[in-house]
Amino acid sequence: MNLADLVQRFAVITREQDMVLLEGRMAKFNKLFEDMKKFHDELKKRPGDQRRALMQLYDFPNMQVRLQASKLTLAVAPIEARAQLAIIAASRWIPQADDAGMSLFNLDNGIFKPT
């Protein structure tokens, strides 16, 4: 897959995560999370670490897509990704705002160190 296709597929997967999360279908969410991780890993291993391509999803209409793109670009764009997490946390859009807030807490306290 080319880079644009990988980013598009990432958006589809994370948008679907949002739907199944709202329905409480955690087994399906976990499967989609693994799928998302595969796309993330593929971007990471490409020459020059292509995870920055996910930054184009920071303005995506779906909050779950924005959340996951922000979290998964922390290692390559820490300032921009952190700013996006702060915006999501301040939005109070549940459950993504809580996830973003917890991610910021974990970053600030050294519990989570992006790689």
Helices (H), ranges, 55-95: 63-71, 78-91
* DSSP code at position 84: H
Output the pLDDT for position 81.
98
Stretch 24-29: mean pLDDT, rounded? 97
Residue 79 lies in a domain: yes
How many domains does the chain divide into?
1
Residue 113 lies in a domain: no
Output the pLDDT for position 44.
97
Stretch 66-84: mean pLDDT, rounded? 98
Residue 93 lies in a domain: yes
